[in-house]
Structure 1
Amino acid sequence: MTRRRLLLAVLTVAAIAGAWLIRRGSSAPPEVAFAAAKRETLVSTLTTNGKAEPYEFVIVRAQREGRLERLAASKGQQVRPGDLLAQLDQGEARAELAAAEARLKQARAAVEVLERGGREAELAEVEAALLRARLEMKAAERDYESLRRLVDKQAAAPHEMQVAADRLDRARADIRGLEKKRAALVSVGDRQAAGARLEEALAAREQAARRLEQCRIRTPLGGVVYDLPLRAGELVRTGDLVAAVGKLNPMRVRVYVDEPELGRLAPGMPVVITWDALPGRRWQGRIEQMPLQVKALGTRQVGEVVLTIENPGLDLLPGANVNAEVRTRVVSDGIIIPKEAVRRQSDQTGVYLLGRGDRLVWRAVELGASSLTRVQVLTGLGEGDRVALAFDRPLRDGLRVRPRFE
């Protein structure tokens, strides 16, 4: 019984002591970290992301369907304008060109025949008849002249001269008829039709030549082949991407800036570009073009800011997702505090100062430029004022604290 009473007394004392310690601990001032407001230079930056692309580039696509016979360039190769990148199978195109050239030859031959007056055999027959008729006309003219002189001398009868005149008239009529027949061998319509067939054959030949040339896929731009997705033997369809060629020095970077931050930007602001694939590398540029519109980028509403950077080693690759830091403002000799010290209370921006007796004092402030971790205070603080940093529990005006200075 005595042991039980003793144990009960010990437990009672321990409980009282624990309660006293808990009460004492809960009533002790919390330890809060403080930082001093300092006069210093602040570089206000805006950090975001972007994408790199060639300053000038061309996407080369297939202009006809066919099987890829061979690649004439490789990824990363430097090429000049007009260089061959790839070649499609040319068998069908060569056959088309040969057929077109044969049709063109036939059309030219038909025009030449018409230009000479018609088909060779018919033309030769008419020409021979004309030759005979002209000889006959000359003979009739001689006979007529002879008889006319004889009639004048009364050495021949007038009716003989009339017979000779009739013979001359018939010869002349025969010549006129043969000349009309020769002209009838080639009509205006025949010439027009033959000319049209020749033009059609010329156009078909040019088209076949173009289709053959389309089998040879060339680059219109000099630069580096930075994309070449196809392999020999693949079937290529019209419009398929064959290669991408671009000038990789300089490079263009499109920086995506969230809509609320666009008002902080201006042309000429310096930008630092980094790429996670090459830690430690930095590329410098300045804003050249402000956004022309706001558009959706995933869940964000962004404007595109464009800048140009030098890339002499061609290390930054097209399509790279890059980090961008825009220097929006530089503040010299400003009152600067850590961003984590700034709080919102009753629609008011302010900080908690360390006051007399280690008690917190709420102070409304007006903020200026900011960086990722620090912010300028325009009004409300002076140099040396100590402001409370982030704390894991809510703070209040008048709260007594144990300050820890950083």
Structure 2
Amino acid sequence: MKRRTVKRYLLAAPALVLLGAAGCKKAESVRPYTTIPVARRDIIVTATASGVIQPILTLSVKSKASGEIIAMPVQTGDEVKKGQLLAKIDPRIPQNNLSQAQASLDVAKAQLENATAQLKRGEALYQSKSITEAGYDSAQLASATARSAVVTAAANLQTAKDAMEDTQVRAPITGTILELDAVLGTVISSPTNDVGGGTVILKMASLDTVQVSALVDETDVGKVQPGMPVTITVDAYPNRQFDGRVLKIEPQAQVSQNVTMFPVDVNILNPEHLLKPGMNTEVEIHVGQRQGVLAVPNAALRTERDVASAATVLGLDPQAVQRQLNAAPGGGAAPGGGDGSKLHAAEPAKAGGQVQRSAATGPSYIVFALRGGKIVPVRVTTGLTDLDYIEVTSGLAETDTVLVLSGSPSR
């Protein structure tokens, strides 16, 4: 029994050796990096914020007339044109006042005709010495008083007509009814001598262009300028983006939970009126943009501090790598005397919202590229980054392939 057991172990041993060798070979074949071709892409850097949709201007519509609302042919959400009837106030009292004013004007005109005729007779009598000068003066005064009464009556009639027109409340602008503050049957009071008084009947606004006051972190607000393009998304339309422009940056900061934010006003074209007041929005301000530039993943970048460790992982001699970098054109320290440990952030845009910067003034980094089947270190100059990819302004071509170490964090 013991001999059989030993024999079985001896037969199993070569098989275990073969399996172990296969496992070692498989482990050795796993590369510590992935290859990423250098390609052209768009780099867009945004400053994100949140806000609430608001109309640019909201009007509180009041009535100059007092009385009971007897008609209100609009509801919230209705689109109305300028001059369209919004509400009608009981016109009985204004109508009576109008009739009285018309009658007063007719009387004043009749009195003026009588006074004018008496003045003509008085003038003839005065010239013939039939009346005294005092009598002639009285006739002149009566004529002037009659003319004044006509002017006063005409003014009162126009005021009565205006009051009659005021019983019909019409839309001051083309817009949307947002809120009804009075309903059919409400008795409103509108003091004629108090400009700020009166009862608000409804609120309305034009929604053709709406506005968002987005709170931008103070670390990003320095990159924001008026005129920059903005992309807006709302929960109501998750698969649709709306375009806007930065109108202005408010000068007064707001502090909430020890975080300093600046309100940035954004205007958004809303021709379909899909965006409603009160909707919560996510705002992305395009503070930097590059179209169709060479780009590599941020994870492919190495600095002077970690290039040696990366070379070791790749199986290269760190000293040989350093010699290659020093021998290459532009070798040595990063431009500007730094070590390239910070990525280039978006700079403020110039006219038209386009970023303008020289192509060879960005920070310098090192990447490992595959050239001719060999891994070689390459010093590159970079530009704009969106934290996933970074623009390469010099050092690489579209035919190159860069290496990203497995588990390498994005810089």
For Structure 1 versus Structure 2, the TM-score category normalised by the shorter chain is 0.5 to 0.7
Q: Could you tell me which amino acid in structure 1 is paired with residue 145 of structure 2?
A: A
Which structure 2 residues correspond to residues 361-400 of structure 1 after superposition, within 5 A? Answer: 365-369=341-345, 378-379=363-364, 382=367
- Structure 1, unaligned stretches of length 5 or more? 1-33, 131-173, 342-349, 371-376, 386-402
Q: 2:251 maps to which residue?
A: 294
**How far apart, CA to CA, are the structure 1 residues paired with 2:145 and 2:127?**
29
Matched, 1:283 2:283: no
Q: Provide Cα deviations, 1:306-328, integer angstroms capped at 9, x if missing partner.
A: 3332433x211134332211121
Superposed displacement of residue 369, structure 1: 2.5
Q: TM-score, normalised by structure 2?
A: 0.55
Q: 2:289 maps to which residue?
A: 330
Closer, same or farther: CA 175–95 of 1 in aligned 2, 3 Å: closer
Which structure 2 residues correspond to residues 3-402 of structure 1 after superposition, within 5 A? Answer: 42-54=43-55, 58-117=59-118, 176-178=128-130, 184=136, 186-237=138-189, 238-287=197-246, 289-291=247-249, 293-297=250-254, 299=256, 301-312=261-272, 314-330=273-289, 332-333=293-294, 336-337=297-298, 365-369=341-345, 378-379=363-364, 382=367
**How far apart, CA to CA, are the structure 2 residues paired with 1:67 and 1:203?**
26
Q: Could you tell me which amino acid in structure 2 is paired with residue 87 of structure 1?
A: K
SS in 2 for 1:248: coil
Q: 1:373 maps to which residue?
A: none
Aligned pair count reads 284
Deviates more, 1:175-184 or 1:295-304: 175-184
SS in 1 for 2:266: strand
Q: Provide Cα deviations, 1:115-169, integer angstroms capped at 9, x if missing partner.
A: 12179xxx7xx99xx9xxxxxxxxxxxxxxxxxxxxxxxxxxxxxxxxxxxxxxx
Q: Provide Cα deviations, 1:236-262, integer angstroms capped at 9, x if missing partner.
A: 344443334444334444444344422
**How far apart, CA to CA, are the structure 2 residues paired with 1:217 and 1:184?**
52
SS in 2 for 1:207: helix
**How far apart, CA to CA, are the structure 2 residues paired with 1:239 and 1:72?**
21
SS in 2 for 1:272: strand
More relative contact order in 1 or in 2 (CA 8 Å, sep 6+)?
1
**Native 8 Å contact 1:55 1:308 kept in 2:** no
Closer, same or farther: CA 285–67 of 1 in aligned 2, 3 Å: same
- Structure 2, unaligned stretches of length 5 or more? 1-31, 190-196, 314-338, 347-361, 370-376, 378-405
Give me the identity figure in percent: 22
Q: Could you tell me which amino acid in structure 1 is paired with residue 264 of structure 2?
A: E
**Native 8 Å contact 1:366 1:379 kept in 2:** no
The alignment's C-alpha RMSD in Å is: 4.3
Q: Provide Cα deviations, 1:32-82, integer angstroms capped at 9, x if missing partner.
A: xx9999878542111112343456764423334433222122223232221
Of structures 1 and 2, the larger Rg is shown by: 1
Closer, same or farther: CA 188–61 of 1 in aligned 2, 3 Å: same
Q: 1:149 maps to which residue?
A: none
Q: Provide Cα deviations, 1:268-304, integer angstroms capped at 9, x if missing partner.
A: 43211111233323212333x333x423557354243
Q: Could you tell me which amino acid in structure 2 is paired with residue 325 of structure 1?
A: E
Q: TM-score, normalised by structure 1?
A: 0.56
Closer, same or farther: CA 51–239 of 1 in aligned 2, 3 Å: farther
**Native 8 Å contact 1:365 1:381 kept in 2:** no
